[in-house]
Homo-oligomer: A and B are copies of this chain.
Amino acid sequence: MTGDRNHEANGAKARRSTIRDVAAQAGVSVATVSRVLAGSHPVSEQLRAKVLRVVREVDYVTNAHAKSLAGAGQLSIAMLIGDITGASFAHAAKGVEQEAASRGSLTLVGSTDLDPAREAAMVNLMREQGAGAVILIGGASDLAEHQQRMARYAKSLNAAGSHLVLCGRPPLPPEVPAITVDYDNEGGAFAMTSHLLSAGHRRILILPGVEGYTTASIRLAGYTRALEAYGMSVEPDLVVHTTYEYGEGARAVRQALERGVEFTAVFAGSDVVAAGALEALRSAGLRVPEDVSLAGYDDIPLARDLTPKLTTVHVPYEEIGRSAARLALEREPGVRGEHKHVVLGTHVVVRQSVAPPPR
């Protein structure tokens, strides 16, 4: 007895009290309790007060499962993220969570770790939960395969009275019933490339992303368009594909340097890739921006923390998340969703990492 530091009631089975318990203790029917709680039908002030008192006494909370089974459930939203640890994804996630919370509903999350199999399994789990919509954030892949997979999800989700919304993923053919909200990726790449060109740079090393992925090719398109506006064309040596990881940025510029390709600016595919590139530039004895200029993409907090502060293109991730959630929640459940595509603007935010080229 002396060594027992545990709680007095420790080990006792705890049963959650139900609406029937409340009804019994208040001397009314379950229907009445339900009505005062939902405010769906008028109840005399007398009973109302008694019910509320009992509810507070036994610390009753309604069982959400039973409620949605009975058809009055909050339509909830589920989101699937490649990696919460990525700042841009986290901001988008925050946006959807905020919007959902402001409407009183919780959010289900899962992460795929960029694995299509896990993604499919998670979508299934979410379907079981009866999510009103599932939002996929980030984590693209090969275009054709991606479109097939998404079409499958959309069809299956629609059949269950729910819908699919995609954030920052490749666009879908108009016949697949899904909502996509994306940012102006081509425009961002175009704007930044133009910024670099107007600063005087002519040889810009671009790290557009993963080869064969849509994000990369779209950025390349923007880069190309900007170059052509200056009467130039893209030089193959100046584009090297990378993933979005730190180490890849470093590897890419190291490799370019070793090959002897000349450039006065590097346009990284993300801010963290830019951080990696910065590291590689530094250890090669190059100063930024005096010797070579550096630009990023995303505008996550890191951009401000780098030395020099990173010039980058701003992507409104949080707003993307909010839009996605809003769109998802506004769709009437049980109605098949039509195709919809909304794109949010980007712009370059200039800080200290780009300067005119040397000489």
Binding site for B on A (CB under 8 A): 5-7, 9-16, 59, 61-69, 73, 78, 83-85, 87, 90-91, 93-94, 97-98, 101, 104, 106-111, 118, 122, 124-130, 156, 158-161, 174-177, 246, 272, 275, 278, 282, 301-302, 304-307, 334-339
Q: Collect the chain B residues with CB atoms within 8 Å of residue A130's CB.
A: 16, 63-65
Which residue from chain B places its CB closest to the CB of A93 in the assembled complex? B84
On whether the beta carbons of B128 and A334 are closer than 8 Å, the reply is no
Bound-state CA distance A300–B70 (Å) is 45
Bound-state CA distance A91–B87 (Å) is 11
On whether the beta carbons of B14 and A336 are closer than 8 Å, the reply is yes
Q: Collect the chain B residues with CB atoms within 8 Å of residue A61's CB.
A: 124, 127-128, 160
| CB-contact partner of A91 in B64, B85, B160, under 8 A | B85
Which residue from chain B places its CB closest to the CB of A58 in the assembled complex? B159
Q: A15-B161, A61-B127 are in contact. Are A336 and B10 (CB under 8 A)?
A: yes
Q: Which interface residue of A9, A174, A282, A307 has the most chain B CB atoms within 10 A?
A: A307
On whether the beta carbons of B161 and A7 are closer than 8 Å, the reply is no
A-B contact pairs, 28 of them (CB 8 A): A6-B338, A9-B158, A13-B334, A14-B161, A14-B335, A16-B130, A59-B156, A59-B159, A61-B124, A64-B128, A65-B65, A65-B68, A66-B69, A67-B128, A84-B90, A84-B94, A85-B87, A85-B91, A85-B94, A104-B125, A106-B125, A107-B109, A108-B109, A275-B305, A278-B307, A302-B305, A306-B307, A307-B307
On whether the beta carbons of A126 and B106 are closer than 8 Å, the reply is yes
| CB-contact partner of A84 in B6, B97, B104, under 8 A | B97
Q: Collect the chain B residues with CB atoms within 8 Å of residue A12's CB.
A: 335-336
| CB-contact partner of A14 in B87, B108, B118, B159, under 8 A | B159
Bound-state CA distance A59–B104 (Å) is 30
Q: Collect the chain B residues with CB atoms within 8 Å of residue A59's CB.
A: 156, 159-160
